[in-house]
Structure 1
Amino acid sequence: MSTHANTHIATGNTALWLALQQSAQVGVERLPLPPALLAAPPADAPATRQMLHRALVAPAASRAEALLRAAAVATVLARAGGQPGRVDAGLVAVLPPVAAVSAETRPACADTDARLQALMATTLQDAESPLLTLLLARLEQGGHRLPHALLVAALELGRQSVALRRWLLPVLGERGRWLAGLNPAWRYASGVEETASPEQVWQEGSIDQRVALLQRERDSDPAPARERLQASLKELPAKERLPLVQALGTGLGMDDEPLLAQLLASDRSKEVREAAARLLSRLPGSSHSQRISGWMRDCLHQDGKGRWTLEPLEEGLPEWEQHGISLKPSSGGAKAWQLQQLVALTPLSFWPQTLGMVPLELVRWASRTDWKADLHQGWLTALQQDPDPQWLDALPLLSRRWWGSTSIEQAMLARLTPAQREALCQSLLDKGEASLPQAIERIATMLPPGASLAPHLSAQLLDAVSAALHGPAKVRGDWQGHQGGSLLLACARVLDVADLPRLAQLWRVPAPPDAAAAASADAETSTAVSTLSHPWDSPRMAEALERTVHLRTLLEATLRTP
């Protein structure tokens, strides 16, 4: 069996990695590596093959050690963009020649600060950490990029997490985009240079770059951006048309109605037609929205005492299909399914204007009808497309046990002006000590990634936290265990950077005299004083708190340095 398998590996179409893997699984003594792998490569062989050969034939304590060493080399080559070739084609194939990497247009962050770079590397290991999003957002806001040494880890992280890419792509720099083009697994991040003209981005950029371009242009001048998209629609596949059409939501106006109506009526992709219908529903004056609102009004009735009732139509109308409403449900009753879709496509402004209720009153009214679940789900779907902040107070009642409520709330909060957001934070802090944990959690979700509280609000929050931790036992009990650590972590992310040293004193205790003498002169970043002294003390929480404080402190100092 070994000879047969060996011959197959040496002469067939088995990839290099498979050859190494098979020998490792079966045992190198039972299934030796193919002679073709061990033979000295020609002098003009690619450098990748030369490196692999040296790893295989260098002195080793055993054949297994040599195999593992070769596997390690092959892994590094793969992560750097090398592609395993076919054994009968030279064992290792390199990518075709590529253009040299363009000069960087942004300065690197932490290239000369080993402490900050180490903290950034540690943060990049956790895709779910809010601290990672904060780091990437602050780099972009400060006009910096990731150091070259962290690009492989960052690209691999983006491969694993689609949600993270919106924060990662802007800070990869030119080398990051160049490197992404060498590995198919990282193609999501490849594209043209930051200095490329809009026309070059549109013609040669990645889909993410084109969407970003369209959104930027829509922010400043929606009409030319729409015309650019309209001229290219026939050439684009559906998977690219969809995100580009969705980008019309930026700067959306009545001038977009003709194009959206055309897409709703005739686009060959169901997903694109549905996206056009959702965008039209955000335009109460559009013909589509007027018809949807008319059908919705037919379902509403008011009795002699002015009370509103809802009764859906017994059967959906044939023309509903042309306006994005499917008549046949995949499961459940057709009547409820059609009502959900009708509510979802009805402009949100229709409800307060027609029923004379604010959103919170509307949600409570819906709870008294026989169609509570369908109304709630329809409104939530509408809010996904049009996250109107006026519905913010109603969202907790509307979205109980619904997984998408957090993203809707964040989108609503993103539409608030800084003054509105500050006023909301102030109102949360003014509710007092008993509501402080809930206020911290809410504020942590309210602030955009990379943003921090205004100095006066930051000082007020820190004073309240300090009073709670040093207050009566009953109050301190709210900060016991994991919840207390999580609340402090949230504070470490949102407080003004100038308040972080005072925050850290809430969990640090003085170091013993001998440790203090040996500590760094920079006490703020010395781990010699990083010991929690509260009942919820844990090494993991201490590490997370210290990392957050150190990262933000060093990062801000670097970003502010000219």
Structure 2
Amino acid sequence: MTTTTSPETNPTPPATAPAPWPDLVSAALLGTERRLPPVTVRPGQSAAAALLDAAAVSTVRRRAALRPAPAGERPAPAPDDPRPPLPPAARRRLALLLADRGDTGGGGRRGASPDLTELLPQWLAAAGAYGYRAPEALLPALLDTARARTDLRPAALALAGPRALWLARLNDAWKFALRGTGGAAVLPEGEAPEEIARRWEEGLFAERVALLTAVRRRDPEAGRDLLGTTWSTERAEDRLMFLDSLRDGLTAGDEPFLEQALSDRSRTVRATAAELLSALPGSALAARMARRAQVCVGLDPAAGPEAVIRVEPPRECDAGMQRDGVVSKPPSGRGERSWWLGQLVEATPLGGWEAWFGGRAPEEIVALPVADNWRTELHDAWCRAAVRQRDAAWARALLGVPGAPSRTDEVAPAGSSRDLTKLLTVLPDGERAGWVAEFIAAHGLSDAFRMLGVCAVPWAEPLGRSVVDALDIARDAGSYPWSFSGVMGLAERCLDPAAADRLAMLTAVTDEPEGASPGSGGYWSEAFQRLVGTLRLRATMRAELLPPPDAGTTGGSGPTAGAAAAATARAVAGADTAAGADTAAGAATAAPGDGSAP
């Protein structure tokens, strides 16, 4: 007599791996009432339905030549992103920008159509200013683009938000997102210190950098204390990155922590700590450096009534100097004593020189003669100090009058290591643009390319006019047109879009003067057509990013009215390019754009 076993009276525990195909076939032939299929039966599901589901999965596996294996753990749901979605037109624009990823062929690009790959950085910056989030469906394409273009990563990851990290954990191709999120984390109001500490101790490196930056911006002391809780156990490369985050909001309260870091076992950490301390004019390190520099540099008492600066560089680099960040071994081709002198002067508070030179203003000190050919070395160090200490008065004095004849030879003589572009970043936006505009009017564009890269975007009207006038002069003179492709590319990204109609008259093909480069007339026409077309497209992109008129009252469909107004101001005025010099240098070789707003 055959006994039938009921599934209810003799249940089979769920299988931990897909059932073998023969077992599924046997259960199907005998029937689920006679043989319980070796599969997991979900609540509310019949054994027959569970058997068919398992057979379907096994069939697909067999056709795909996959070996049966336990099912992987289902990933946790993606985190919420509370930021408003993009307006529909802006969403479509982003899809077009991400789809156009072809190589433009470098600096010799021809044609009158705008280069969309150069506009993507601007679009990302503007969308970030409005506080939008990236559409979910476009996140993979956005991450792929950021993977291929490192210049886009900060803005792209900021737009992608927390879901970029979630996706990066699932796809090794996007693991770069785990090393940096491109923006500070958002600290919810009233978040408990215990929760912040937990996130600091358990988060990924990118999340910890973002968290430290956010805490630091809200409460510098709390950020420094948070870093101190794990400082001794961090890796050297991580300590360096965390220490660098103290630059924003650096205060005298950071001095004890930085003084302790001067004894760090990592040379790069010690150097960074010394640099930060020297940026605090009231720090003990700055005072030590000032005493050393005062011994080396001063007025020559033997010069008589004419004031002359005498320089006597240090004869050794002792242990105290090395602890305070002075690197003892000079680079190749550099003398030891001049190398040590430059580091001492660079770390000395600039305000002290006025007292040491009899109350003279920076302009008067810079104009003083320097004995024994030490002028270039001394002025170069003062330039680096002005950049480090963000001293506009000294930067202004060291830059001088931009329109003066041969000013470039005076400011940066042969053998000088100073960087005029970095000096310009110390000046306010309007003054910086005016200085570069006057420089271009006096000296042309050949030496101004990197200077243009650090000017606020969109360019102020005088600066934009000087650039266009210089390009027009070059066209009329029949100059070799391709040598101006880098400046033309910057103009496409940085000119105010409102200038498009005024520039339309430059798109006509002109007669080539005698001796002009062959084909230059057609090239200049194409270049100006592309410039005008790009400016108009940037204006359209800006309009597409504007939130709907009722966004401020619908409660969640877009930015509030106040936020929209602020974002509009930022998008229209543009942001000062923090790394503009590097951007300009990259643009010279047809690198991606400068990341400014459309």
TM-score above 0.5, yes or no: yes
Query: Counterparts in 2 of 1:17-166, with a 5 A limit?
Result: 44=57, 97-109=74-86, 112=89, 114-115=92-93, 117-122=95-100, 131-148=119-136, 150-159=138-147, 162-166=150-154
SS in 2 for 1:309: strand
Listed one character per residue, the Cα deviations across residues 200-253 of structure 1 (whole Å, up to 9, x for unaligned) are 653444444443443444444322222222223123222211121122121112
Say whether 1:296 aligns with 2:293. yes
Instruction: Say which one has the larger Rg.
Output: 2
Q: Which residue of 2 aligns with 1:72?
A: none
User: Is contact 1:277-1:323 (8 Å) kept?
Assistant: yes
Say whether 1:445 aligns with 2:453. yes
Gaps of 5+ in 1: 1-41, 58-88, 510-531
Aligned-partner Cα distance in 2 for 1:474–1:324: 47
SS in 1 for 2:100: helix
Which amino acid in 2 is paired with 1:137? Answer: A
Aligned-partner Cα distance in 2 for 1:422–1:282: 24
Listed one character per residue, the Cα deviations across residues 242-287 of structure 1 (whole Å, up to 9, x for unaligned) are 121122121112111111111113x222221211111111122222
Gaps of 5+ in 2: 1-54, 108-116, 400-407, 510-518, 549-598
Counterpart of 2:278 (choices 281, 297, 322) is: 281
Q: Which residue of 2 aligns with 1:247?
A: 245
Q: Which residue of 1 aligns with 2:222?
A: 224
Say whether 1:310 aligns with 2:308. no
Say whether 1:347 aligns with 2:344. no
Kindly tell me: are residues 380 and 132 of structure 1, through their superposed partners in 2, closer, same or farther at Cα, counting changes over 3 Å?
Answer: farther
User: Is contact 1:363-1:398 (8 Å) kept?
Assistant: no
Kindly tell me: are residues 323 and 114 of structure 1, through their superposed partners in 2, closer, same or farther at Cα, counting changes over 3 Å?
Answer: closer
SS in 2 for 1:536: helix
Q: Which residue of 1 aligns with 2:578?
A: none
Cα RMSD of the aligned pairs, angstroms, is 4.6
Which amino acid in 2 is paired with 1:277? Answer: A
Q: Which residue of 1 aligns with 2:477?
A: 477
Q: Which residue of 2 aligns with 1:499?
A: 499
Counterpart of 2:393 (choices 367, 390, 393) is: 390
Aligned-partner Cα distance in 2 for 1:298–1:248: 31
Aligned-partner Cα distance in 2 for 1:133–1:279: 31
Query: Counterparts in 2 of 1:248-267, with a 5 A limit?
Result: 248-265=246-263, 267=264
Aligned-partner Cα distance in 1 for 2:453–2:346: 25
User: Is contact 2:87-2:544 (8 Å) kept?
Assistant: yes
Listed one character per residue, the Cα deviations across residues 66-109 of structure 1 (whole Å, up to 9, x for unaligned) are xxxxxxxxxxxxxxxxxxxxxxx969999864222223333454
Which amino acid in 1 is paired with 2:321? Answer: W
Counterpart of 1:536 (choices 520, 523, 547) is: 523
Aligned-partner Cα distance in 1 for 2:103–2:203: 28
Overall identity of the aligned pairs, in %: 30
Which amino acid in 2 is paired with 1:104? Answer: D
User: Is contact 2:346-2:385 (8 Å) kept?
Assistant: yes
Kindly tell me: are residues 209 and 365 of structure 1, through their superposed partners in 2, closer, same or farther at Cα, counting changes over 3 Å?
Answer: farther
Kindly tell me: are residues 253 and 497 of structure 1, through their superposed partners in 2, closer, same or farther at Cα, counting changes over 3 Å?
Answer: same
Which amino acid in 2 is paired with 1:445? Answer: G
Q: Which residue of 2 aligns with 1:561?
A: 547
Of stretches 132-141 and 251-260 in structure 1, the one that deviates more from structure 2 is 132-141
User: Is contact 1:387-1:408 (8 Å) kept?
Assistant: no
Aligned-partner Cα distance in 1 for 2:159–2:381: 37
Which amino acid in 1 is paired with 2:318? Answer: L
SS in 1 for 2:245: helix
What is the deviation of 1:294? Answer: 0.6
User: Is contact 1:489-1:544 (8 Å) kept?
Assistant: no
- TM-score of the superposition, structure 1-length normalised? 0.64
Which amino acid in 1 is paired with 2:272? Answer: A
Of stretches 250-259 and 326-335 in structure 1, the one that deviates more from structure 2 is 326-335
Say whether 1:180 aligns with 2:168. yes
User: Is contact 1:273-1:324 (8 Å) kept?
Assistant: yes
Kindly tell me: are residues 291 and 139 of structure 1, through their superposed partners in 2, closer, same or farther at Cα, counting changes over 3 Å?
Answer: same
Query: Counterparts in 2 of 1:300-449, with a 5 A limit?
Result: 300-304=297-301, 305=304, 306-329=307-330, 331=332, 333-355=335-357, 369-372=372-375, 374-375=377-378, 378-379=381-382, 381-382=384-385, 385-393=388-396, 394=398, 397-398=411-412, 405=419, 408-409=422-423, 413=425, 416=427, 420-426=428-434, 429=437, 437=445, 444-448=452-456
Of stretches 313-322 and 326-335 in structure 1, the one that deviates more from structure 2 is 326-335
Kindly tell me: are residues 463 and 240 of structure 1, through their superposed partners in 2, closer, same or farther at Cα, counting changes over 3 Å?
Answer: closer
Which amino acid in 1 is paired with 2:476? Answer: R
Aligned-partner Cα distance in 1 for 2:211–2:421: 23
Kindly tell me: are residues 549 and 491 of structure 1, through their superposed partners in 2, closer, same or farther at Cα, counting changes over 3 Å?
Answer: same
Kindly tell me: are residues 499 and 121 of structure 1, through their superposed partners in 2, closer, same or farther at Cα, counting changes over 3 Å?
Answer: farther
Q: Hey, which of these two has a bigger chunk of helix by percent?
A: 1
Listed one character per residue, the Cα deviations across residues 440-487 of structure 1 (whole Å, up to 9, x for unaligned) are 857742434xx424xxx54x66777777788xx888327772356555
Which amino acid in 1 is paired with 2:290? Answer: S
What is the deviation of 1:172? Answer: 1.9
Q: Which residue of 2 aligns with 1:552?
A: 538
What is the deviation of 1:389? Answer: 3.3
Aligned residues: 448
Whose relative contact order is higher, 1 or 2, with alpha carbons under 8 Å and at least 6 apart? 2
Which amino acid in 2 is paired with 1:168? Answer: A
